[in-house]
Amino acid sequence: MSSQNPSLRLGVLISGSGSNLQALIDAIESQKLPGVEIALVVSNKADAYGLQRALKHRLPAIFLSWGQRTVGEQFIAPKPTMSESEIRLTALLRLFQVDLIVLAGWMRILSAAFLEQFPQRVINIHPALLPDDGTGKTYTTSDGTQIPVFRGLHAVQQALDAGVKITGSCVHFVTPEVDAGPVICRQEVAIEEGETEETLHERLKVVEHRLIVEAVKRCKSVE
């Protein structure tokens, strides 16, 4: 972590389209995130469109191959040591003096050993509602309804399958347990009639684009 640099330097980790990365780029370029810059974009997929977005805005962007478990394998206990990929990622984050790591659609699990290096410095966007402390199996919506907490892959489809009327997205601190860290900000979204996973996820992403900027702003303010 850099100490002399007054700016909060983000390392944005992506695996796909990178629309949340774009939201951060746009917020920075339109002066909505003063004192924040994107130091590095890392993708575990060479063809992730988010890498093109980064390069278009002349941001350092790199493909880092990753031989790790996927988010779907969430119930496997975290490995006590870092993987080769995590060691490489750590070196890159240090080289680029990253202060805050943003998982923006990053689809690989990070081990407890990796996360210990960056306490309260890794945040994730999750397309479902988590309770304030991130833990537990239920979430109480603002109208008082208790709904299950949807974690891991296909959280959007899980909400549709469960037949809940309200879902949402949140940004939370990352802990070794997948999608179970303290929430920084969140927004509920009502599920519409005839909604599909695609239509709902697109609407959630619109919300996420605001939430991720808000979460980074909050992290900057407690520096």
Q: Report the residue number whose CB is nearest to ligand GRF.
A: 105
Task: Work out how close the CB of 156 gets to ligand GRF at its nearest, in angstroms, rounded to a whole number.
Answer: 8
3-state secondary structure of 146: strand
- Active-site option among 126, 154, 201, 209: 126
Could you tell me which of 42, 28, 23, 219 has the C-alpha nearest to residue 121? Answer: 219
Task: Say how many Å lie between the first and final Cα of the chain, rounded.
Answer: 12
The torsion region of residue 117 among left (phi > 0), alpha (psi -120 to 50) and beta comes to alpha
Q: Is 126 a catalytic residue?
A: yes
Query: Which of residues 39 and 130 has its CB atom nearest to ligand GRF in the complex?
Result: 130
Residue with tokens 């943003």: 102
Pairwise CA distance, residues 139 & 129, whole Å: 7
Q: State the DSSP H helix or E strand holding residue 91, giving kind and residue range, or none if neither.
A: helix 84-95
Between 9 and 108, whose beta carbon lies closer to ligand GRF? 108
- Least separation in angstroms between residue 2's CB and ligand GRF is 25
Q: Alpha-carbon distance 7 to 17, whole Å?
A: 26
Nearer to ligand GRF among residue 51 and residue 98 (C-beta)? 51
Residue closer to ligand GRF, measured from CB, 97 or 210:
210
Interface residues with ligand GRF (CB under 6 A)? 14, 16-20, 50, 104-105, 125-127, 169, 205, 208
- Shortest Å, Cβ 88 to ligand GRF: 22
Which residue is associated with the tokens 């031989």?
Answer: 67
Shortest distance, position 18 Cβ to ligand GRF, whole Å: 5
Mind telling me the catalytic residues? 126
